[in-house]
């Protein structure tokens, strides 16, 4: 989990790519973006967002199976 970091930004790039503008961030990697909790959002990709979503859905599916709600 993060806030405005690589994971959350990647998810948004996957779901709503037009809502993400990484050009607003400094290209200087020594300048940490304000308000970010987690890995650097400049490393975010839509593909990574898709992978995170798929893994999250699978984890929830497994929890439902374990709880006897799915077979």
Amino acid 71: pLDDT: 83
Instruction: Give this prediction's pTM.
Output: 0.88
- The distance between the two most distant Cα atoms of the chain, rounded to a whole number of Å, is 50
pLDDT per residue over 53-63, tens digit each? 999 999 999 99
Paired tokens of 54: 């798929």
Distances (CA, A) of 56 to 10, 29, 44, 62, 65: 14, 29, 17, 10, 14
Confidence of residue 1 (pLDDT cuts 50, 70, 90): confident
């Amino acid at each position: 989990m993060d806030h405005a970091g690589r994971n959350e930004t990647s998810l948004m790039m996957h779901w709503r790519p037009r809502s993400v503008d990484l050009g607003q961030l400094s290209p200087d990697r020594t300048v940490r973006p304000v308000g970010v909790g987690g890995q650097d959002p400049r490393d975010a990709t839509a593909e990574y967002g898709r992978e995170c979503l798929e893994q999250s859905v699978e984890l929830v599916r497994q929890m439902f199976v374990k709880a006897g709600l799915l077979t």
